């Protein structure tokens, strides 16, 4: 956890410094555009540096409690995150209604649900997608692969 | 006396069968929009706007207002049972409502949230009705310097007393403000930090940010554990008695309810600040004055009552500047477009000429709140059954709703990608005890903070803070930041002395 704390504080510092640097030197924004970013960025750099120093020294902050981590290991986190992320290529490649249905079917089957449950739930999701989002709300959902539709 | 006859006239005008029917149709619509994460109040209003063409003014506005007034009532249910705020202002309810659901007290949390929402909504309307006649001088006290400090106070309060340590809360709040700096600057129109990306020209969007921060970490937790949100034991079954107990909790905390509703109504009055700030400010105030602040974030009923009371109370307050100055008090008050479609122009003249309509609108909000709370309390038990679904079933289904809801909000596929980007950020913040609520509030209030700072500097120079109301807000801000430390030190001194 200590390494995670250090890394997050360091990434924050780099991110803020990069954005402020880009605004000041790359884009060369005038002062009335950059005044507020300087305030906020300066405050974040100060606080981030303070946090980084505390994290390196292993200081415990007042009010900090030991929380149970969301996942048991990095491997489990990566597996779970990948399963969730899979919905992106699914909707991108198959369009939203078909992509979401296919994603759900594969997810349910891979996580121990029976064929019947998986097919029923995926079909219900397809029906909700169609009737609620396309018919009722008139959302222009991409039905074809994104970038290839009419 | 004349005003009271105006009130009764307004009430009678709303009690017409056609208006009640319109409200009955609009309320379930608003509740569904509140329940589904990603579908915001603005989306609901946008969808309903075309339907008001050709309606009488009160009919059209009743349709918009009753749908809008109950959105946060629906949103509180998703916040509690799924840990995903139905709309951004419900994020404060997640902090204690979701832990309560995980402890098998979801019914109690829902009962408390719904009762607080309904009653808070009515409180807001009472405030509105009471101050409508004396409105102008009050709103005129709040200039740009006051808006700046009030918005800053909202972020600082939640950063200091929200989840996690103060230092991390302040970093989160500032990071939220920083993320909102991308895209067109509202004051000058210059696109900032857009790095050649068309998407970034408009900056990051609130829906992907809110859903990413709050929904994705919960979906990761649900999916990795695979078990239900509530433990499948007898105590976790949601009964009507549990919901009723939650409703009673609001009556057992009258001071908290009135304080939070008053915060909601007052903050709601301030143009551009009300919307998302009031629940967080009410939550922070509740924690500061609670006898058990240590329970906040772990399933405190007070942590549910406070944001929900203020959430709906603010809508009454937000109507004040909308009607009086034509400036929306909350983002949802974009129903201004509705006024224009119906040939009305809100502003000081509107109140002079259409005070009866203003009173009628207040009645619409009150009735909608009561009706929505009653319906949801009756249905709460059934809706809460979702918490007993296996994580491996619930997680992908919710992910589908999140993806669809995000896309539906702006119909931009990139928003869906950003849900996952912010989801990664939300996961890190959650694991390291950074306040996600402070981040979202900072993000939401940046526009108000930056533009009011800009206007203040131009109008008053660097001494813009030397105004009486500003000084009061600054004093409150300082007190809010220092109070937890002072209180802790006093307790430590007392303990060491004894």
pLDDT score recorded for residue B235 = 46
Across the A/B interface, how many CB contacts are shorter than 8 Å? Answer: 155
What does each of the 498 residues of chain B score in pLDDT, given as a tens digit? Answer: 566 777 777 777 778 888 888 888 888 878 777 776 655 566 667 667 667 767 788 888 888 888 887 788 888 888 888 787 777 778 888 889 988 888 888 888 989 998 998 898 888 888 877 877 776 566 667 788 888 887 787 778 767 766 678 889 899 999 999 999 999 998 888 999 999 899 999 999 887 887 888 788 888 888 887 766 555 544 456 778 888 898 999 999 999 999 999 888 887 776 555 556 788 888 888 888 888 888 888 889 999 999 999 888 887 777 776 776 665 555 554 565 667 667 776 665 676 677 777 778 888 888 888 888 888 888 777 776 666 678 888 889 889 988 988 888 788 889 999 999 999 999 999 889 888 878 887 887 788 789 889 999 988 888 888 888 889 888 988 887 787 777 777 777 877 877
Question: Among residues 119-178 of chain B, which lie with CB inside 8 Å of chain A?
Answer: 164-168, 170-171, 174-175, 177-178
* Chain B contact for A108 (CB, 8 A cutoff): yes
pLDDT score recorded for residue B396 = 92
pLDDT score recorded for residue B483 = 74
**Which candidate from B221, B413, B420 shows the least CB-CB separation from A70?**
B221
What angle, rounded to 10 degrees, do the helices at B57-69 and B71-82 form?
A: 10
What's the pLDDT band for A102 if we cut at 50, 70, 90? very high
Complex confidence, ipTM = 0.93
Its pTM stands at 0.74
Question: SS3 letters for chain B?
Answer: CHHHHHHHHHHHHHCCHHHHHHHHHHHHHHHHHHHCCCCCHHHHHHHHHHHHCCCCHHHHHHHHHHHHHCHHHHHHHHHHHHCCCCCHHHHHHHHHHHHHHHCCCHHHHHHHHHHHHHHHHHHHHHHHHHHHHHHHHHHHCCCHHHHHHHHHHHHHHHHHHCCCCHHHHHHHHHHHHHHCCCEECCCCCCEECCCCCHHHHCCCCHHHHHHHHHHHHHHHHHHHHCCCCCCCCHHHCCCHHHHHHHHHHHHHCHHHHHHHHHHHHHHHHCCCCHHHHHHHHHHHHHHHHCCCHHHCCCCCCHHHHHHHHHHHHHHHHHHHHHHHHCCCCCHHHHHHHHHHHCCCCCCHHHHHHCHHHHHHHHHHHHHHHHHHHHHHHHHHHHHHHHHHCCHHHHHHHHHHHHHHHHHHHHCCHHHHHHHHHHHHHHHHHHHCCCCHHHHHHHHHHHHHHHHHHHHHHHHHHHHCCCCHHHHHHHHHHHHHHHHHHHHHHHHHHHHHHC
* Chain B contact for A139 (CB, 8 A cutoff): yes
What is the rounded CA–CA span in Å between residue B333 and residue B314?
Answer: 11
In chain A, residues with a C-beta closer than 8 Å to the C-beta of B399 are 84, 87
* Residue B413 contacts residue B407 (beta carbons within 8 Å): yes
* Residue B160 contacts residue B284 (beta carbons within 8 Å): yes
**Which candidate from B165, B431, B450 shows the least CB-CB separation from A64?**
B165
A142 DSSP assignment: -
Q: What's the token pair of residue A100?
A: 């979401």
Q: Which residue from B270, B262, B259 is spatially nearest to B152, judged by alpha carbons?
A: B270
What are all long-range contacts of A36-42, with beta carbons under 8 Å and residues at least 24 apart? A36/B181, A36/B449, A36/B450, A36/B453, A36/B454, A37/B178, A37/B181, A37/B192, A40/B174, A40/B177, A40/B178, A40/B181, A41/A16, A41/A17, A41/B178
* Residue B267 contacts residue B78 (beta carbons within 8 Å): no
Question: Among residues 395-434 of chain B, which lie with CB inside 8 Å of chain A?
Answer: 395-397, 399-400, 403-404, 407-408, 411, 413, 416-417, 420, 423, 427-428, 430-433
What's the pLDDT band for A98 if we cut at 50, 70, 90? very high
* Chain A contact for B294 (CB, 8 A cutoff): no
Burial class (CB in 10 A: 0-12, 13-18, 19+), B1: exposed
* Residue B192 contacts residue A23 (beta carbons within 8 Å): yes
Question: What is the rounded (10 degree) CA torsion for B60, B66, B72, B73?
Answer: -160
User: With an 8 Å Cβ cutoff, are B404 and A70 in contact?
Assistant: no
SS3 content of chain A, % helix, strand, coil (to 5): 75, 0, 25
What is the rounded CA–CA span in Å between residue B173 and residue B156?
Answer: 7
A137 DSSP assignment: S
- When the pLDDT of each residue in chain A is averaged and rounded to a whole number, the result is 89
User: With an 8 Å Cβ cutoff, are B432 and A80 in contact?
Assistant: no
In chain B, residues with a C-beta closer than 8 Å to the C-beta of A44 are 171, 174-175, 178
* Chain B contact for A129 (CB, 8 A cutoff): yes
Q: Which residues contact B478 (CB under 8 A, 6 or more apart)?
A: none
pLDDT score recorded for residue B234 = 45
User: With an 8 Å Cβ cutoff, are A48 and B399 in contact?
Assistant: no
**Which candidate from A1, A107, A138 shows the least CB-CB separation from B396?**
A107
* Chain B contact for A10 (CB, 8 A cutoff): no
Q: What is the CA radius of gyration of chain A?
A: 23
pLDDT score recorded for residue A65 = 66
Backbone angles phi, psi at B191, to 5 degrees: -75, 125
To the nearest whole Å, the CA of A57 is away from the closest chain B CA by: 16
* Chain B contact for A23 (CB, 8 A cutoff): yes
* Residue B259 contacts residue B287 (beta carbons within 8 Å): no
User: With an 8 Å Cβ cutoff, are B192 and A142 in contact?
Assistant: no
User: How many CA atoms lie less than 13 Å away from B95 in the CB half-sphere?
Assistant: 36
User: With an 8 Å Cβ cutoff, are B224 and A48 in contact?
Assistant: no
Chain position carrying tokens 């990434």 = A11
Q: Which residue from B305, B304, B306, B320 is spatially nearest to B265, judged by alpha carbons?
A: B320
Sequence spans of domains, chain A: 2-57, 74-136
């Amino acid at each position: 956890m200590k390494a995670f704390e250090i890394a997050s504080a360091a990434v924050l510092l780099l991110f803020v410094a990069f954005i402020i640097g880009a605004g000041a030197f790359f884009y060369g924004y005038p002062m009335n555009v950059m005044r507020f970013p300087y305030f906020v960025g300066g405050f974040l750099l100060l606080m981030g540096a303070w946090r980084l120093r505390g994290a390196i020294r292993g200081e415990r902050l007042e009010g900090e409690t030991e929380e149970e981590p969301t996942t048991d290991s990095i491997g489990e986190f990566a597996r779970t995150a990948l399963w969730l992320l899979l919905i992106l290529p699914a909707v991108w490649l198959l369009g939203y209604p078909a992509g979401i249905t296919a994603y759900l079917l594969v997810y349910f089957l891979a996580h121990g649900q029976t064929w019947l449950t998986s097919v029923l739930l995926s079909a219900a999701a397809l029906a909700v997608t169609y009737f609620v989002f396309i018919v009722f709300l008139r959302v222009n959902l991409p039905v074809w692969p994104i970038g290839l539709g009419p | 006396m004349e005003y009271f006859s105006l009130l009764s006239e307004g009430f009678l005008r709303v009690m017409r069968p056609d208006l009640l029917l319109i409200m009955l149709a609009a309320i379930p619509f608003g509740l569904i929009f509140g329940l589904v994460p990603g579908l915001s109040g603005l989306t609901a209003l946008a969808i309903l706007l075309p339907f008001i063409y050709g309606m009488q003014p009160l009919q059209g506005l009743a349709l918009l207002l009753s749908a809008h007034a109950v959105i946060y009532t629906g949103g509180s249910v998703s916040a509690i049972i799924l840990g995903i705020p139905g709309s951004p202002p419900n994020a404060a309810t997640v902090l204690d409502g979701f832990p309560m659901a995980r402890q098998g007290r979801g019914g109690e949390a829902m009962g408390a949230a719904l009762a607080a929402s309904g009653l808070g909504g009515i409180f807001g309307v009472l405030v509105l009705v009471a101050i409508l006649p004396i409105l102008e001088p009050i709103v005129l006290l709040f200039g740009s310097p006051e808006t700046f400090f009030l918005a800053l106070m909202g972020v600082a309060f939640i950063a200091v007393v929200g989840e996690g340590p103060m230092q991390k809360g302040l970093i989160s709040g500032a990071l939220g403000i920083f993320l909102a700096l991308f895209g067109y600057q509202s004051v000058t129109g210059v696109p900032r930090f857009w790095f050649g990306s068309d998407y970034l020209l408009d900056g990051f969007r609130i829906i992907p940010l809110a859903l990413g921060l709050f929904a994705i970490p919960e979906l990761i937790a649900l999916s990795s554990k695979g078990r239900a949100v509530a433990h499948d034991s007898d105590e976790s079954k949601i009964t009507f008695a549990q919901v009723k107990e939650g409703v009673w909790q609001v009556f057992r905390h009258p001071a908290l309810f009135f304080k939070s509703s008053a915060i909601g109504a007052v903050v709601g009055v301030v143009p551009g600040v009300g919307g998302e700030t009031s629940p967080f400010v009410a939550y922070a105030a509740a924690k500061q004055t609670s006898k058990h602040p240590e329970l906040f974030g772990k399933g405190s009923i007070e942590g549910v009552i406070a944001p929900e009371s203020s959430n709906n109370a603010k809508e009454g307050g937000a109507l004040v500047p909308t009607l009086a100055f034509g400036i929306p008090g909350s983002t949802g008050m974009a129903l201004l477009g509705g006024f224009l479609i119906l040939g009305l122009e809100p502003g000081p003249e509107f109140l002079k000429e259409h005070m009866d309509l203003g009173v009628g609108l207040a009645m619409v909000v009150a009735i909608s709140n009561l009706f929505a709370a009653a319906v949801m309390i009756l249905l709460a038990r059934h809706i809460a059954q979702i918490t007993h679904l296996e994580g491996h079933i619930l997680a992908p289904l919710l992910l589908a709703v999140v993806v669809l809801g995000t896309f539906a909000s702006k119909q931009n596929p990139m928003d869906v990608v950003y849900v996952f980007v912010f989801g990664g950020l939300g996961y890190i913040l959650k694991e390291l005890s950074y306040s996600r609520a402070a981040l979202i509030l900072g993000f939401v209030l940046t526009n108000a903070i930056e533009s009011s700072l800009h206007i203040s500097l131009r109008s008053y120079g660097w001494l813009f803070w030397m105004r009486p109301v500003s000084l009061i807000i600054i004093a409150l801000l300082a007190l809010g930041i220092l109070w937890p430390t002072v209180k802790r030190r006093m307790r430590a001194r007392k303990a060491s002395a004894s």
